[in-house]
Amino acid sequence: VSVVLRQRRRSLPPGPKGLPIVGNIFDVPKEFEWLAYERWGKELRSDVIYVNLAGTPVIVVNSAEAAHELFEKKSSVYSDRVRLPMLNELVGCNWHFVFMGYGDDWRERRRVFHQFFHPNAAVAYRPRELKVARELLQRLLESPDDFMVHLRHMAGSLILGVAYGIDVQPKNDPYIATAETALHAMSMAGNAGAYLVDYIPLLKHVPSWFPGATFKRQAAEWKKATDAMVERPFEAVTKAMAEGKAHPSMILSLLNDLNEDEDKEHKETVFSGVAAAAYTGGSDTTVSALGSFFLAMLLYPDIQRKAQAEVDRVVGRDRLPEFSDEPSLPYVTAMVKEVLRWRPVTPLAVPHRLTSDDVYNGYHLPSGSIVVGNAWAILHDERMFPDPDRFLPERWLNEDGSLRTDMRDAELSAFGFGRRICPGRHLAAASVWIGMTSVLSIFNLEKARGADGNIIEPSGEYISGLVAYPKPFQCLFKPRSDLTAQLVHNGLQECD
Ligand code: HEM
């Protein structure tokens, strides 16, 4: 009895007051929620806060210390996911292990994925990362205004190559197009709280023709797109294998290593889902990171020049950067870390779910809570990152110019938390690094001028979402020398 009483006495973490029944639904803004969560945490002087979304408890974790205590140290109870009937069932995105509950199905897929993307395995993809970075340079030379299109193409081309061995078309590639539709569908259906069926799961049984059941017809459309994204590239590999023409890839190795006695159908479902998960995980995220990098270079020209000076000194002006240059380019590496900190790609990571009652700082955290790691707040915590809104690569460096190693927990939060931390982060970090370094070595990024000759200031605004992007802005990519076109041409030939 005394245990029960003591537990009862513990209070929930502080949070905004809210209304009866609906709780804080009207307090939580529809966009840039991370800023409100960060502000409440400061006002309430607590690094965990509690929000009630119409009965669903939500715990927001606003500091690196709390994130470590909960997601890391107690990872066995902080690694589940929330089920969204719209996304998981109606759109049928159960193949994607980012949406799977913590259990054997998730574990099996995460293990398969890890085999191909752990740090040593990921080194094998460097030639491909280098190639797509150089193709990006070529495209930026040809049509600089379409830089966001080129970033999408670069990200898609890398991961389709790694996962399926597919060489994409230079323009209008059908696989990239299919995936874009599917990604859009997933981000819409994954918008927690946007669909009534997510609050009242029984609604999923309403027939599609029923008045008001537009969500079911919409879900059926989206399901077609997401199914196609899982099935089409996989079928292309199996067809190429049958013809003896398949290029090396994750799927090829997995299928080749399959034993006679294994359940082929089950394994194929797992493999095709894991490959599609790599594709969806790696597309928008890389685009956002490089988009923020371009924006930072416009807003902080001095830093651009400083980074270029390092590249020029180490790489020289007569060749393009390679991965072997990385240890000699600490400033550029610090800049990559700073991009991921300054404008986190996934400001709230992906929400976790707590599977048993817990206590933190004397507060009661109820089983079943959605637990949101506020990567934005952690990466903008003044205690570790003074003047946090300023883009300042120097903060990642020691006095002697070497990279600091004491901010790992905070740094990693850019990729999420605990056992769910992004398993593609090694590939991501490498591809973002070579992309940024290559662009800096070849181009000066400058603000555009309007017809009146005046500089067009980028707004610096973002589009809110699971993945946050800079709003469209104009950026000039000016070749740094007469040799540029030749260098890019030669650089590409080296990759063939
Ligand atoms: C800058 C690039 C990237 C960022 C910022 C990023 C961020 C994230 C975040 C925040 C999560 C959720 C972590 C959590 O639940 O706490 C995640 C999960 C995931 N990411 Fe990434 N990611 C990036 C690139 C990639 C790439 C390139 C791939 C594939 C090669 C990938 C594949 C995945 C997968 C499969 C998951 C699901 C993990 C799970 O639920 O167990 N990501 N990522």
What is the whole-number distance in angstroms between the Cα of residue 221 and the centre of ligand 1?
Answer: 26
Mean pLDDT in residue range 208-218: 85
CB distance 115 to 121 below 8 Å:
yes
CB distance 487 to 320 below 8 Å:
yes
- Is 35 part of a structural domain of the chain? no
Of the listed ranges 29-43, 96-110, 251-265, 436-450, the least confidently predicted one is 251-265
| 393-451 pLDDT, tens digit each | 999 999 999 999 999 999 999 999 999 999 999 999 999 999 999 999 999 999 999 99
Mean pLDDT in residue range 199-215: 84
| 305-338 pLDDT, tens digit each | 999 999 999 999 999 999 999 999 999 999 999 9
| Nearest atom of ligand 1 to the alpha carbon of 155 | 27
Mean pLDDT in residue range 229-254: 94
**Ligand 1 lined by 346 (C-beta under 6 Å):** yes
- Amino acid 193: pLDDT: 67
What is the whole-number distance in angstroms between the Cα of residue 425 and the centre of ligand 1?
Answer: 7
DSSP for residue 97 = G
**Ligand 1 lined by 81 (C-beta under 6 Å):** no
pLDDT bin (cut points 50, 70, 90) of residue 10 is: confident
Angle between helix axes 425-442 and 126-142 (nearest 10 degrees) is: 40
- For residue 53, the one-letter residue type is L
pTM confidence score: 0.95
- Number of domains forming the structure of the chain: 1
Task: Give the angle subtended at the CA of 129 by the CAs of 125 and 135, to the nearest 5°.
Answer: 145
Q: Which domain covers residue 321, as residue numbers?
A: 99-332+417-495
**Ligand 1 lined by 431 (C-beta under 6 Å):** no
| 116-137 pLDDT, tens digit each | 999 999 999 999 999 999 999 9
Give the residue, out of 112, 422, 426, 431, with the most ligand 1 atoms within 8 A of its beta carbon, to mutate for a pocket test. 422
- Amino acid 132: pLDDT: 97
Question: What CATH number does residue 304 fall under?
Answer: 1.10.630.10
Task: Give the residue, 32 or 496, on which the prediction is more confident.
Answer: 32
CB distance 410 to 64 below 8 Å:
yes
| Nearest atom of ligand 1 to the alpha carbon of 349 | 10
Answer yes or no: is pLDDT of 162 > 70.
yes
**Ligand 1 lined by 350 (C-beta under 6 Å):** yes
- Is 324 part of a structural domain of the chain? yes
- Amino acid 3: pLDDT: 47
- The b-or-e profile of 354-386 (16+ CB within 10 A means b, else e) is bbeebebeebbbeeebbbbbbbbbbbbbeebbe
Structure tokens that stand for 370 in this block: 């959605």
Residues 6+ apart with CB under 8 A from 126: 323, 430, 434
**Ligand 1 lined by 475 (C-beta under 6 Å):** no
pLDDT bin (cut points 50, 70, 90) of residue 2 is: very low
- For residue 213, the one-letter residue type is A
- Is 79 part of a structural domain of the chain? no
**According to DSSP H, which parts of 10-79 are helical?**
33-43, 64-67
- Is 280 part of a structural domain of the chain? yes
Mean pLDDT in residue range 252-258: 94
**Ligand 1 lined by 117 (C-beta under 6 Å):** yes
Write 463-468 long-range contacts (CB < 8 A, 24+): 464/30, 464/31, 464/32, 464/33, 465/187, 466/187, 466/190, 466/346, 466/348, 466/350, 467/187, 467/284, 467/285, 467/288, 467/345, 467/346, 468/288, 468/343, 468/344, 468/345, 468/346, 468/347
Q: Which residue is closest in CA terms to ligand 1's atom 22?
A: 422
What is the share, in percent, of the chain residues with pLDDT greater than 70? 98
pLDDT bin (cut points 50, 70, 90) of residue 14 is: very high
- Is 197 part of a structural domain of the chain? yes
- Amino acid 133: pLDDT: 98
- Is 360 part of a structural domain of the chain? no
What is the whole-number distance in angstroms between the Cα of residue 421 and the centre of ligand 1?
Answer: 7
**Ligand 1 lined by 215 (C-beta under 6 Å):** no
- Amino acid 8: pLDDT: 53
- Amino acid 288: pLDDT: 96
- Neighbour-count burial of 204, counting CB atoms closer than 10 A to its CB (0-12 exposed, 13-18 middle, 19+ buried): middle
> What mean pLDDT value characterizes the chain?
93
- Is 156 part of a structural domain of the chain? yes
What interface predicted TM-score (ipTM) does this complex get? 0.99
pLDDT bin (cut points 50, 70, 90) of residue 6 is: very low
- Is 338 part of a structural domain of the chain? no
Q: Which residue is closest in CA terms to ligand 1's atom 43?
A: 422
What is the whole-number distance in angstroms between the Cα of residue 420 and the centre of ligand 1?
Answer: 8
